[in-house]
Amino acid sequence: MNGLLVIDKPGGITSHDVVSRLRRITGEKSIGHLGTLDPMATGVLPLLMGKFTRLAQYFSAAEKSYTGTIRFGFATDTFDADGSAVGEQTHPSLTLEEIRIVASRFHGVMEQVPPPFSAKKIAGTPAYKLARAGKPVELKAAQITIRTFTITSLDFEDASFAMSISAGGYVRSVAHELGRELGCGAHLSSLRRTQAGPFTLDDAHRLEELEPLTGDLDALESLCLHPRSLLPEIPAVTGDAISLGRLRNGAQANLPEFSQAAMVKVFAAQRDLVGIARRVAGTLFQPVVVMG
């Protein structure tokens, strides 16, 4: 089974658990998700299946949007509600305006240190494995971009928020740092991804919706996003038999319809994606991804 399917990930399971369940439903072994969601998080989780996993590189820089809540009063070792409390729990008397003033500092391009309990690798070992073993975790700061971070409401010690953050950015790190700036500690208490790149909750399907379709590949494929809608920044062209044959064999081919495009998605039919090609010069294109 080939395609891109967007799942509305439930809470309490890992992104890898979603992949495992989808493998059982579809019978397809080659499945990869685009952007890990922590176990407690819910929402948009795009998955590439079959030959479409070869397109993963083109989705790696996608910005992501979230809603959620931040609990003030104590930090945790994982920076979210799944972790253990760090320090004494307090009951700060914060106002919505106070939180918004400090939250406004988290905007634009900035340096962020990933959480110690994360998949970031240190000398080839995931940081969370070192943290669980009680070993020191020294992660380097990475440059991220927070496009929006809005505190929408405050209910006692829980602040609701909306955020759009670049690929590689950690929302729970923002929650942790916000609590530190306010001097009372904080952690991410809930998180829902509402968008990942162009994919939204409107595109997403629940696993419970897919379970009854186990083994029915036609029905399952009908739930995948149309291949021509993927990577909308790259134009789509339908090749003729000669150009398709050359591209499938890794050879250059002429695609005169898109002589000015830097990259094109090449189709053999409406939904049959052959691959992605890069313009060499004039009308001549070189395949960079071939679906086979």
Cα separation, 229 vs 246, in Å, equals 25
Cα separation, 19 vs 33, in Å, equals 7
β partners of residue 146: 108, 165
Catalytic residue among 38, 202, 203, 218: 38
Side chain identity at residue 286, one-letter code: Q
Please tell me the total number of residues recorded for the chain in this structure: 292
Query: Under a CB-based contact definition with an 8 Å cutoff, are residues 15 and 213 in contact?
Result: no
Cα separation, 14 vs 22, in Å, equals 13
Cα separation, 279 vs 78, in Å, equals 46
From the centroid of its chain, how far is CA 225?
Answer: 16
Query: Under a CB-based contact definition with an 8 Å cutoff, are residues 147 and 164 in contact?
Result: yes
**Residue 38 designated active-site:** yes
* Residue of 213, 263, 216, 272 lying closest to 239 (CA atoms): 272
* Tokens matching residue 204: 């997403």
CA dist list (Å): 123 to 114, 130, 142: 15, 11, 16
The helix/strand/coil state of 20 is helix
Tokens 């809540």, residue? 69
Cα separation, 160 vs 191, in Å, equals 10
Residues with a known catalytic role: 38
